[in-house]
Amino acid sequence: MVSTIELNKRQERILQIVKDNGPITGENIADQLNLTRATLRPDLAILTMAGYLEARPRVGYFYSGKTGSQLLTEKVKKLQVFDYQSIPVVVDESVSVYDAICTMFLEDVGTLFVVDKKSLLVGVLSRKDLLRASIGQRDLEAIPVNIIMTRMPNITFCFKDDLIIDVAGKIIEKQIDAVPVVREVGNGYEVIGRLTKTNMTKVLIDIAKDEVI
């Protein structure tokens, strides 16, 4: 895992040397620091992978000119769904509102995805969908979820290769808590994950801990 690392003293000095003298070979940087090329290799690798330096064969190292925060922004924009998604909880469209409420408690999730007999996504159930259906209703076991769920084609979903930042935008724009991660199967979608506001909070923590992948 490489991130917008905090640079150590030696890396800071290398950066300064390349800023002042680049393009410059590894050999020349080593000379200026009175170190061997081999000793510097890991530092140069880190600075290159992190994006501070660029390396060109036979020419040497250039300073990329990017600040730590520019590099972080670039990384955050590249984060993908599969690195942060959770396991989805699905229910069959024929189950009752009562059973869906039990599943929501047992599985400890805030959003359920509803699938048909072929396991294809047909609906979404939020906490408030179930609360609304429960108000004033006596027999929650008699109401199937497919009459209260939000249904296709109105479901906002994403694919595992989508960018986290795009899904975050959809969550805000649509004012929803979770998005199913799907895979296209025939003429429908199979649910393979979920991305929630909690997953987004995890992204924030990773950024703060400097552990963005």
Summarize as ranges the residues that interact with ligand ADP (CB under 6 A): 111, 124, 126-129, 150, 154-156, 175-179
- Report the distance separating Cα 200 and Cα 153, nearest Å: 25
Query: Shortest approach of ligand ADP to residue 130 CB, angstroms?
Result: 8
Query: Shortest approach of ligand ADP to residue 79 CB, angstroms?
Result: 19
- Report the distance separating Cα 213 and Cα 200, nearest Å: 14
What does DSSP assign to residue 146?
G
Which residue, 72 or 152, has its beta carbon nearer to ligand ADP? 152
Which residue, 28 or 134, has its beta carbon nearer to ligand ADP? 134
Enter the tokens of residue 186. 């025939």
Which residue, 34 or 175, has its beta carbon nearer to ligand ADP? 175
**Which residue in the block uniquely carries the two structure tokens 């200026």?**
32
Which residue, 116 or 177, has its beta carbon nearer to ligand ADP? 177
Residue type, 54: E
Cβ neighbours, 10 Å, residue 141? 11
Query: Shortest approach of ligand ADP to residue 125 CB, angstroms?
Result: 6
Neighbouring residues of 144: CB distance < 8 A, sequence distance ≥ 6 = 93, 94, 95, 96, 97
Query: Shortest approach of ligand ADP to residue 170 CB, angstroms?
Result: 8
